[in-house]
Amino acid sequence: MNSYQLAEDSKLNQPEFVFGVATSSYQIEGGVNLGGRTASIWDTFCRQPGAVDNGDNGDVACDHFHLWQQDIDMIADLGVDAYRLSIAWPRILPRDGELNPQGLNFYQQIIDACHARGVKVFVTLYHWDLPQYLQDKGGWLNRETAYKFAEYAEVVSAHFGDQIDVYTTLNEPFVAAFLGYRWGVHAPGIKGEREGFLASHHMLLGHGLAMPILRRNAPNAKHGIVFNASPSYPLTPSDQGAADYSEAEGYHWFMDPVLKGEYPFEVVERQSDNMPMILAGDLDLISAPVDYVGINYYTRHVCRYNENGDIVNVEQPSAEHTYIGWEIYPQGLTDLLVRIHQRYEDLPPMYITENGAAGNDELKNGEVVDQQRTRYFQTHLEAVDNAIRQGVDIQGYFAWSLMDNFEWAFGYCQRFGIVHVDYQTQKRTLKHSAIAYRNMLLARKQENQ
């Protein structure tokens, strides 16, 4: 397949629909001690024995810190409409209250280069790399961190204003809060039920505090938040309650406060011993209107109750899986988007801000033939189109990821990129999935001229 095929009447063919690629700062930048940057919680976590596969870290990663110019050229040459990146908080505020002009200049150059090539810029303020100096004071377990995030949002948006086309406050607060502070498999590696829910509330509070600041400083930009979500399905009809609760804790817990001004009752009831302190006015702040909601989708869950009444996920061995072991289930993306559309009144437009597949990719004779990923994108683009046909307002799609990178606790063994990276030479090679993406976008632009 040398190009993704969209139906002639597909809404994805409309010129206003945004196609892009996505990355995040810690996963690609490297340069952790350069340009005035100080340590993040991921720099610290990577040095804990056994925390990351192979003892990998983001010290160099894809060396985007030095190679950003060629990377922006590569992005533009793909023909995408937009580039979704994140800003490293400790590169902007390396110490509490101290501004780093070098950090602002680094991102200024990237933003300018994107705009010079006609590429819109979607910026995430928090993609998990909390400054270590804030973690030393409790990190997201400390309510003050929400206010520190608002200060950071003030600095970034005051400098860039409307130069950033779309602002995202948080990326995947579920992962940052639950994997980082509840289950301990991500930075900062804290394990505790109560801690996970407390961190999640403080993150959402930080989002709420930042929204009016962003609107004031960038009145012509769009402002929102990105959630990861997996639809859940019951193994048997008697497991429907398990699937419902899986969705409630998996993404309603994070989306409901933003879009409904309340936490889901079933989670509050089931986790009553672990509920955070919610002060008067918190939910009013958190539920400030957003211009869009980003959805990151990779797979689904199939759930059942075990003999103890606990909810467990059930593997689907007969299904196709990616290299990371996640089931490929494109129908889940359609179902998820329709369920969200039905759940929330006055839902703002949505973007698919991440979607992709990890592969055991090898460079052979100058090529990476990633057939599974190519099929994955084809079927998931069709799934987005199907959701739009059912009335869901979706305005863009971002492939995860632009290039192979540091995949958090999996280190460098999982390759999500549509561009292959040789970590020894830093050579970039477009995989067949990237070539198909480029060809589709080229054909689409020709049709819309």
What was the pLDDT predicted at 131?
99
The answer on whether 42 is annotated among ligand-binding residues is no
Query: How far is 254 from 263, CA to CA, in rounded Å?
Result: 8
- 351 contacts 397 by C-beta, under 8 angstroms: yes
Q: Vertex 161, ends 158 and 162: CA angle to 5°?
A: 175
Residue 61 dihedral angles phi and psi, to the nearest 5°:
50, -125
Q: Is residue 127 part of an annotated ligand binding site?
A: yes
10 Å CB burial of residue 138 (0-12, 13-18, 19+) is: middle
Q: Which residue is listed with tokens 């720099």?
A: 43
DSSP for residue 275:
P
Q: With contact defined as beta carbons under 8 Å apart, do 87 and 25 qualify? A: yes
Considering the candidates 29, 195, 247, 354, report the single residue annotated as catalytic: 354
Contact of 41 with 130, CB cutoff 8 Å: yes
420 is in an annotated binding site: no
Q: What residue type is 237 in one-letter code?
A: P
According to the annotation, is 68 in a ligand binding site?
no
Cα(361)–Cα(422) distance, integer angstroms: 11
DSSP string for residues in 218-236: -TTSEEEEEEE---EEESS
Edge-to-edge strands, sheet with 311-313: 232-234, 301-305, 311-313
What is the C-alpha separation between 225 and 292, in angstroms, rounded? 7
**Residue 382 known to be catalytic:** no
Catalytic annotation, pick one of 172, 247, 249, 327: 172
| Residue with tokens 């994108």, as numbered in its chain | 377
Residue 107 amino acid letter = Y
Containing 444, the helix (H) or strand (E) segment is: helix 432-448
Angle between helices 371-389 and 331-343 (to 10 degrees): 30
Q: Taking a C-beta distance cutoff of 8 angstroms, is the pair 439, 433 a contact?
A: no
What is the 8-class DSSP label of residue 13? G
Active site residue 98: no
408 is in an annotated binding site: yes
Residues whose CB is less than 8 angstroms from the CB of residue 365 and which lie 6 or more positions away in sequence, other chains included = none
**How many Å apart are CA 160 and CA 168, to the nearest integer?**
14
CB 56 within 8 A of CB 46: yes
229-243: burial string, b at 16+ Cβ within 10 Å, e else: bbbbbbbeeebeebb
Q: Which pLDDT score is estimated for 448?
A: 85
Helix (H) or strand (E) holding 448: helix 432-448
439: exposed, middle or buried (C-beta count within 10 Å: 0-12, 13-18, 19+)? middle
Q: Give the pLDDT of the chain (449 residues) as one tens digit per residue.
A: 899 999 989 999 999 999 999 999 999 999 999 999 999 999 999 999 999 999 999 999 999 999 999 999 999 999 999 999 999 999 999 999 999 999 999 999 999 999 999 999 999 999 999 999 999 999 999 999 999 999 999 999 999 999 999 999 999 999 999 999 999 999 999 999 999 999 999 999 999 999 999 999 999 999 999 999 999 999 999 999 999 999 999 999 999 999 999 999 999 999 999 999 999 999 999 999 999 999 999 999 999 999 999 999 999 999 999 999 999 999 999 999 999 999 999 999 999 999 999 999 999 999 999 999 999 999 999 999 999 999 999 999 999 999 999 999 999 999 999 999 999 999 999 999 999 999 999 999 998 88
How far apart, in whole angstroms, are the C-alpha atoms of residue 211 and residue 206?
A: 9
Architecture of domain 11-448: Alpha-Beta Barrel (3.20)
Alpha-carbon dihedral of residues 323, 328, 332, 337, nearest 10 degrees? 60
Structure-block tokens of residue 209: 């505090």
* Annotated binding-site residue? 355: no
Tell me if 405 is assigned to a ligand binding site. Answer: no
Cβ–Cβ < 8 Å for 201, 282: yes
